[in-house]
Structure 1
């Protein structure tokens, strides 16, 4: 079973992927993990590599390629990342949503930043990503047609989110 889990920042994709991985006893990989691995391969810290990636579309393309290749080589895998569903041949494609305010509070707590600062950063990041995804991949991040399941994580605790995905994958 190959499952992709995507969503905007603060929707709980990494937490859901980790919990589902434990529940199904299958590995998971995140786009963030691949990004950190690529930074290390280039002898750079995350911040330096992030700056490099801003002006180098090859970084995004390589993350997409690696995710797709890992899924192709695996019998069972959970792939977490915003665009994973577009590049991974998956049995189940999940997109997670949550209200902007909820996401801002989650990220604010996680990163120990004021909520108002977090809101501004989220808006800048999401606008930039949406533009980049369209320019690089011709993907409209707001088009949900590719997903099998769209889940509002504001309505459920993290364990219940993983349980819902678990139940859905059982019927596929």
Structure 2
């Protein structure tokens, strides 16, 4: 058994280490707050924006706290998620596309195209990742939440289109040869 003072010192050191990691994670997730503020200023659904924004910050902070391969996907995910976010808001401002057959909203197609573009950006950013599964999951999750801040304005269909585009855009990563040897 260890002497009591040594065990207490180890415990205090471990708690200080974890507090430092938590502070780092809170700061690493801070860029998501700026995105949420912009989304709140542009949104006509404040509750939805607040819920998605809180989830985005919490996920980014948790992934940053976990570190390593999960943390590496946070900033690329935020950056890629800004594409569908911006496209959805631009489509919402533009409104409808009218043809002789009738008028249709362009928001859902904009979310699909934005999700695909975000997926393509993530495919490029993650192509050299060592632990692709962890990096892909964290980057796609953060990108989906960031993009959902814009695509949620058209409802669940916009978020579903975003997810479909994101998964389709990252499909080339599945074709990447496995790294490492036997």
Q: Which has the larger share of strand? A: 1
**With structure 1 as the length reference, what TM-score do the two structures score?**
0.33
Select the structure with the greater relative contact order (CA < 8 A; seq sep ≥ 6): 1
